[in-house]
């Protein structure tokens, strides 16, 4: 397992446990992340903290990594099975989602969600 894949494994583990501090430890302070609630992009760890607070008041999301692929430019593509439940536990969505991660040093600096790898 490469260092970047090990980092992403820790990231998904923290995400699925709801451990924001462990999640944030893997992020560049100026991380650029998609806002799947309001649209657009978020920049910075504190913006991510606010996103988690909003999301946790609305839904429960789990993302299980299925496959990691290191791209030619050094980014890592992760195929995931993402499930979304409402706060009562009812399943809203169960789908495959591809996340593309960009790195700054040893931390994640950007995440993108794509439909197809050729969009990366």
- At 116 the pLDDT is 58
Positive or negative CA dihedral for 79, 84, 89, 92? negative
Does 7 fall in a domain? yes
CATH number where 55 lies: 3.10.450.50
Q: Which two tokens stand for residue 109?
A: 């600096």
- At 36 the pLDDT is 87
What residues contact 3, with CB distance under 8 A and at least 6 apart?
106
Does 90 fall in a domain? yes
Contact 23, 63 (CB under 8 A): no
Minimum mean pLDDT range among 21-25, 105-109, 116-120: 116-120
Domain count, the chain: 1
Q: Which domain holds residue 83?
A: 3-114
pTM (2 d.p.): 0.91
Does 119 fall in a domain? no
Rounded Cα–Cα distance for residues 1 and 86 (Å): 34
Does 24 fall in a domain? yes
Does 120 fall in a domain? no
């Amino acid at each position: 397992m490469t260092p970047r894949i090990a980092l992403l494994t820790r990231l998904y583990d923290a995400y699925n446990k709801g451990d924001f501090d462990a999640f944030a430890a893997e992020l560049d302070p100026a991380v650029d992340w998609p806002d799947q609630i309001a649209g657009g992009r978020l920049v910075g760890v504190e913006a991510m903290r606010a996103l988690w607070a909003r999301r946790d008041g609305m839904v429960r999301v789990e993302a299980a990594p299925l496959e990691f692929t290191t791209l030619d430019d050094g980014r890592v593509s992760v195929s995931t099975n993402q499930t979304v439940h409402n706060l009562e536990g009812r399943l809203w969505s169960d789908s495959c989602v591809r996340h593309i991660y960009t790195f700054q040093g040893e931390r994640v600096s950007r995440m993108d969600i794509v439909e197809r790898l050729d969009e990366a």
